[in-house]
């Protein structure tokens, strides 16, 4: 069984990275500079709020946020003391 993420999981990750969350049309846009100085931007459709995100969407978000893969992003979410 694969790793699943909800929109709230992505929000938590973005908040830990210090990204600002704003609404833009029909999307939630999370953008800003992470602690290492990299500019990051992720956009998720508002209908995703509270639902599991598609595998391809999660994979693209992991790349956009600079994680090695989806499992690395899951580990970052679960391990509160972990730094990037």
- pLDDT tens for each residue of 25-58: 888 899 999 878 889 999 887 666 678 888 999 9
83 domain-assigned: no
d(CA 74, CA 61): 12
What CATH number did the domain enclosing 32 receive? 3.30.920.30
Domain count, the chain: 1
Q: Is there a domain that residue 34 lies in?
A: yes
Task: Give exposure, 53-78, as e/b (b: 16+ Cβ within 10 Å).
Answer: beeebbeebbeebebeebeebbebbe
pLDDT value at residue 69: 94
1 in any annotated domain: no
User: Quick one: CA torsion of 11, 35, 67, 4, rounded to 10 degrees?
Assistant: -20
Residue at 2 is within a domain: no
Owning domain of residue 11: 7-76
Report the predicted TM-score, pTM, of the whole model to 2 decimal places. 0.87
């Amino acid at each position: 069984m694969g790793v699943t993420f909800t929109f709230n999981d992505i929000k938590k990750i973005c908040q830990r990275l210090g990204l600002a969350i704003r609404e833009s049309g029909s999307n939630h846009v999370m953008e800003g500079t992470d602690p290492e100085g990299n500019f990051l931007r992720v956009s998720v459709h508002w209908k995703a709020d509270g639902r599991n995100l598609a595998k391809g969407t999660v994979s693209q978000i992991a790349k956009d946020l600079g994680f090695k893969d989806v499992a690395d992003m899951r580990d970052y979410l679960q391990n509160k003391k972990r730094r990037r």
